[in-house]
Amino acid sequence: MGQVVEVKPGYARNYLIPRGLAEGVTRGRVKDIEERQKVLEVKAARIREGVEATAERVKSQPIKIQAHSSPEGKLFGSITNRQLADAIKEATGDEIDRHKIIVDEKVRTVGPHTAVIRLHPDVELVLDFEVEGDTPIVAETVEVADVEAEEAEEGVPEAGEIDTAPEASETEPPG
C-alpha cells in the first residue's frame, strides 16, 4: 500500500483498477499517496504504543491457571492457548487473541511454564505462567512392607495363603 509500481496497462485496466487494488498515477495522486502514507505511519505508531502498553500490563501481573491434576502433579488433559488467553483476560482485563499465543510444548504438569505472545509484528512477549493443580502433590512414597503389615493386621490373607476350599452354599442345588 502506498507504493508506486509500474505494471502492464492491460493488467492495471482489467484487473487492478476495477477491484480497487490500484489507481492510475498523476502528480496530484502521488501527493495524496504520500499524505496517506504519513497518516498510516502515525496510526501504526499509535497501535504499536498501545500494544506495548498491553504487553507491559500482561507481564506485570502473575498469571495462574487452575486445572484438575493427579496427586503426582500430572494434569488430566493439557493447558491450551485458549485457557491461557482466558487467564490473561481475568488477571489483567486485556483480551488477547488466542491465535497469538504460542506454547512450545504441551503443558501437562503442575508448575511454571513459558509461552510466547506475538501481539504485533514488532512486539513479542515471553510470558511466564503458573499451573496450579486442585489435588495436593504427594511428596512421600509408601513403603511396600508397611502396606503388607497393614493387610496382615486386617486379616487379609498374604500371598500363598489363599483359601482354596469351596464355600458351602446355603441352598442345595436341585437334584
Domain ranges of the chain: 9-57, 63-133
Question: What pLDDT digit, counting tens, does each position of 27-59 carry?
Answer: 888 888 888 889 999 999 999 999 999 999 999
Using an 8 Å Cβ cutoff, are 118 and 51 in contact? Answer: no
Burial 65-78 (b: 16+ CB within 10 A, else e): bebebeeebebeee
Q: For the full predicted model, state whether its pTM sits above 0.85.
A: no
The confidence band for 146, taking pLDDT boundaries of 50, 70 and 90, is low
Burial 139-155 (b: 16+ CB within 10 A, else e): eeeeeeeeeeeeeeeee
63-133 homologous superfamily? Ribosomal protein L9, C-terminal domain (3.10.430.100)
Question: What pLDDT digit, counting tens, does each position of 98-110 carry?
Answer: 999 999 888 999 9
